[in-house]
Amino acid sequence: MYEFVSGPLVWISFIVFIGGSLYRLCSMHKLAKKEKVIYPYMSLKYGLRSIIHWVIPFASTNMRRRPLMTVTTFAFHICLVLTPIFLLSHNILWYQSWKISWWTLPEGTADIMTVIVILAAFFFLARRLVLPEVRFVTFASDYALLIIALAPFLTGFLAYHQWLPYKTILILHILSGELMLIVIPFTRLSHMLYFVFTRAYMGSEFGAVRNSKDW
């Protein structure tokens, strides 16, 4: 079992993740060309202006209005992306397989970052359950996606501290990580791919056409 999930399934999930993402971006490009008004309005300057404003914490009005959400969402996304890439034990795996390695996070830091992802996920869950305007637009799939994003971190945390049967948790950890990679291109987790494009388009319209700010 371990051999399978840490061998062929890793290959499959990376191929699906990368291939699926490329496919989604290509089909978006094709559709955008069909819609004729998209590309002519795109502006590098205003697109970047908008993206930069929205990747800096508290740079937009709405972020300032909701400080707790802003801090949580930035912490969540930063830790979610960086932890798996710079984790020491993941790096060792890369080295064992392909003889490549890069800078790694100190183990204590990585542990804290994992806890941040877990806590933030519970914050998002609470938001969905408590805030009427969020609950009104919540589907079952929103909970599923949250669990999919949370699972690799929760299992990773348990595996690192070896609190439950290590082997089982490790397999679950790898499986959940693979599941997340596989579903990214095909679910709303694809906001990871689309973020820069939707932002750039709105930024271009606001900047170049409407001569105003979109933050």
Partner 1 sequence: MAEPAKEIVVDPGLDETIKKLTPKKIEDTINKVLTKGAAARLKVYMQTCVHCGLCSEACHFYLSHDKDPRFSPVGKVKQTLWEIVKRKGRVDGEFIKNCSRIAHTECNVCRRCSMYCPFGIDMAYLLLLVRRICALLGVVPQYLQDTVNSHAVTMNQMWVKQDEWIDTLQWQEEDAQDEVKNARIPLDKEGAEIMYSVIGPEPKFLAQLLGNISIIMTVAGMDWTMPSFDGWDNSNMPMYSGDFETMARVERKHFEAAFKLKVKKIVMGECGHAFRGAVYDGPKWLAWKEPPVPLIHAVQFYYELIRDGKIKIARKFEQPVTIQEPCNIIRGRGLGDMLRYIMRATCEDFRDVSPRYEHNYCCCAGGGVINCGPPWKKNRVEGNRVKAEQLKATGAEVVITPCHNCHSGIEDIVNYYKLGMHVKFFSEILVDVMEIPEELKV
Which range touches partner 1 (CB under 8 A), out of 84-92, 106-114, 167-175, 197-205? 197-205
Rg (CA), the chain: 20
Upper half-sphere CA count for residue 185 (Cβ side, 13 Å): 18
Q: How far is the CB of 22 from partner 1 (least distance, A)?
A: 15
Q: Compose the 118-137 pattern: x for residues touching partner 1 by CB under 8 A, - for all others.
A: ---------x---xxxxxxx
Task: Give CA–CA dist 50/206, Å, rounded.
Answer: 9
Least Cα distance to 4 among 194, 174, 159, 201 occurs for: 174
Task: Give CA–CA dist 29/43, Å, rounded.
Answer: 16
Question: Helices H, strands E: what count in the chain?
Answer: 12, 0
Toward partner 1, which CB reaches closer, 78 or 202?
202
Toward partner 1, which CB reaches closer, 42 or 119?
42
Residues that bind partner 1 (CB under 8 A): 28, 31-32, 34-38, 40-41, 50, 54, 60-62, 65-66, 69, 73, 127, 131-139, 142, 145, 188, 190-191, 194-195, 197-199, 201-203, 205-206, 209-215
